[in-house]
C-alpha cells in the first residue's frame, strides 16, 4: 500500500505538506503542490480514510438507520442524500432489521462513533429501548413514536392528516368509515394518533364514530391488509369508506375491494397516508396524505447540523405539516 510518506519522499517534501495539499487546510505554493500531485499520480496514492478518522476524530459521514430499506424509508433516504452531500459529507444507510437485539446493536455507542451524526428512524423501537441509547454522537430521531425528552425529534402531523383524510370522505357522503390499521386507546403511537384524527373528524362533522370500525393490523403490509379487510367484508361488515393508515395498507384494501367487485369510489371511498409514487398509477388513483418528505428530510438534517456544530440548546421537536392529495379513490 502506498502511504503518505511514500508520496512525501517521492516529492521531496514532508508528509505534512502532502496532507495539506490533500485537505487544503493550509496554503501550499503552486510549484510544491504540483510536485506533490505528480508524485500522487505516479504512485497511485489514495488517502487512508480510517487513519484520517482516527487522527482527526471526524468521519464526514452521516448514517440513516432504518428498520427496512423499503417504502417510506427509501423515499426519505433519497431525499436526505442530496442534502447531506451538499455539505460535503457522505450518507450511508444501515438497517436495524426486525429483531430487537439487532436494533440495540446498531445503536451501540461503538457503531455510532463511526459517524459524525445519526438520523435514527424509531419505528420498531419502544421508549425503553430508546432510553438505553447513550451517546455523545449527535442524533436526531425520526418517526411517530413517543421518544425521551433529551432527543431532537422530527415527526408528522399524524392526527391532523388522519382528520383531513376522514373529513374528506365524510364531506362526500361516507357515514361508515373504517380506519384500517388504527389502534384504540390513548397510546401515542402512529396507529393511535391516526385513529384519534379519525375520531376528531367524526366529532367535527357530528357523525358518531363506531368503535367497531377501528381495525388494527400488525405488519402494515398490503398482504395482511387485504386479508383483514377481506375477512370483515365476508363477515358482512358494511362500510362506505376506508381510511388506511398507510398507502401500503391502502393498496391491500383496494385489492380486497376489487376482489369482491366493490366499486371505488362509488360504493366505498378510500384514502391512504404517505403519498407513495404508486398511488398515482392505480385505477382509480389513490387519494392520500402527502407526508412532505422533503420537509422531513430538511428538518432532520437542519437539527443534526445544529448539533454537529456544537449547539447545546434544549432538544427541538418538529412536527411537519401534511396535506391531502385528492385523487380518484374518493368522490369529486
- By a kind-dependent CB cut-off of 5 to 8 A, residue 277 interacts, out of a second copy, DNA, none, with a second copy
Determine if 20 is a binding residue for DNA (CB under 7 A).
yes
Minimum CB separation of residue 105 from DNA in Å reads: 16
Give me the sign of the Cα torsion angle 184, 185, 189, 195: positive
Q: Is residue 247 within 8 Å of residue 276, measured between CB atoms?
A: yes
**Which range touches a second copy (CB under 8 A), out of 52-60, 198-206, 298-306, 310-318?**
52-60
* Min separation Cβ 242 and DNA, Å: 54
Segment lying near DNA (by CB under 7 A), choices 13-21, 73-81, 100-108, 139-147 = 13-21
CB 168 within 8 A of CB 271: yes
Could you report how far apart the first and last alpha carbons of the chain are, in Å? 67
Q: How many whole angstroms separate alpha carbon 1 and alpha carbon 126? A: 46
Cβ contact 255:226 at 8 Å? yes
For position 15 contacting a second copy by CB under 8 A, the verdict is no
Closest CB 160 distance from a second copy, rounded Å: 27
Q: Does 136 bind DNA (CB under 7 A)?
A: no
* 91 lines the binding site for a second copy (CB under 8 A): yes
- Burial level of 216, CB count in 10 A (0-12/13-18/19+)? middle
Where would I find the H helices in the chain? 4-11, 15-23, 30-43, 49-56, 71-86, 100-106, 109-112, 127-131, 158-170, 190-205, 222-234, 247-259, 293-308
Of 251, 270, 303, 320, the one binding a second copy (CB under 8 A) is: 251
Q: Which residues share a beta bridge with 152?
A: 140
By the rule CB under 7 A, 27 interacts with DNA:
yes
Comparing CB distances to a second copy, the nearer of 97 and 189 is 97
> Residue-wise over 86-111: b if at least 16 C-beta within 10 A, else e?
eeebebeebbbeeeeeebeebbeeeb
Size of the site for DNA (CB under 7 A): 29
Q: Does 25 bind DNA (CB under 7 A)?
A: yes
- Residue 120 beta carbon to DNA: minimum distance, rounded to whole angstroms: 23
By beta-carbon proximity to a second copy, the closer residue of 9 and 90 is 90
Query: Would you say 156 and 122 are in contact if contact means Cβ atoms under 8 Å apart?
Result: no
Minimum Å distance from CB 34 to DNA? 10
Among 16, 98, 109, 171, binds DNA (CB under 7 A): 16
Q: Which is nearer to a second copy, 114 or 205 (CB)?
A: 114
The answer to whether the beta carbons of residues 116 and 60 sit under 8 Å apart is yes
- The residue range among 20-28, 175-183, 199-207, 244-252 that interacts with DNA, by the rule CB under 7 A, is 20-28
Residue selected from 1, 86, 149, 309 as contacting DNA according to rule CB under 7 A: 1
The contact set with DNA (CB under 7 A) reads: 1, 3-5, 12-17, 19-20, 22-23, 25-29, 31-33, 47-48, 51-52, 54-56
Amino acid at each position: 500500500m502506498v502511504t503518505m510518506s511514500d508520496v512525501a519522499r517521492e516529492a521531496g517534501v514532508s508528509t505534512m505538506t502532502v496532507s495539506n495539499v490533500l485537505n487544503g487546510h493550509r496554503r501550499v505554493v503552486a510549484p510544491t503542490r504540483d510536485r506533490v500531485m505528480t508524485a500522487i499520480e505516479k504512485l497511485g496514492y489514495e488517502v487512508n480514510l480510517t487513519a484520517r478518522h482516527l487522527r482527526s476524530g471526524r468521519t464526514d459521514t452521516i448514517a440513516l438507520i432504518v428498520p427496512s430499506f423499503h417504502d417510506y424509508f427509501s423515499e426519505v433516504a433519497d431525499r436526505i442524500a442530496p442534502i447531506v452531500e451538499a455539505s460535503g459529507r457522505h450518507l450511508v444507510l444501515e438497517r436495524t432489521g426486525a429483531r430487537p437485539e439487532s436494533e440495540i446493536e446498531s445503536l451501540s455507542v461503538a457503531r455510532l462513533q463511526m459517524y459524525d451524526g445519526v438520523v435514527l428512524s424509531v419505528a420498531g423501537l419502544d421508549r425503553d429501548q430508546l432510553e438505553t441509547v447513550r451517546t455523545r454522537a449527535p442524533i436526531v430521531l425520526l418517526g411517530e413514536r413517543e421518544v425521551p425528552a433529551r432527543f431532537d425529534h422530527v415527526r408528522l402531523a399524524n392526527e391532523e392528516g388522519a382528520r383531513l383524510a376522514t373529513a374528506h370522505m365524510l364531506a362526500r357522503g361516507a357515514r361508515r368509515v373504517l380506519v384500517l390499521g388504527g389502534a384504540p386507546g390513548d397510546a401515542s403511537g402512529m396507529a393511535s394518533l391516526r385513529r384519534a384524527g379519525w375520531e376528531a373528524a367524526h366529532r367535527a362533522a357530528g357523525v358518531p364514530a363506531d368503535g367497531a370500525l377501528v381495525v388494527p393490523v400488525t405488519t402494515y403490509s398490503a398482504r395482511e391488509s387485504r386479508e383483514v379487510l377481506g375477512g370483515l367484508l365476508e363477515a358482512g361488515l358494511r362500510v362506505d369508506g376506508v381510511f388506511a393508515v398507510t398507502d401500503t395498507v391502502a393498496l391491500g384494501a383496494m385489492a380486497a375491494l376489487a376482489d369482491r367487485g366493490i366499486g371505488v369510489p362509488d360504493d366505498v371511498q378510500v384514502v391512504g397516508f404517505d403519498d407513495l409514487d404508486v398511488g398515482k398509477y392505480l385505477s382509480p388513483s389513490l387519494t392520500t396524505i402527502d407526508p412532505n418528505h422533503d420537509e422531513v428530510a430538511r428538518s432532520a438534517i437542519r437539527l443534526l447540523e445544529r448539533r454537529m456544530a456544537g449547539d447545546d440548546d434544549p432538544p427541538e421537536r418538529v412536527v411537519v405539516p401534511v396535506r391531502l392529495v385528492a385523487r380518484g379513490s374518493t368522490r369529486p
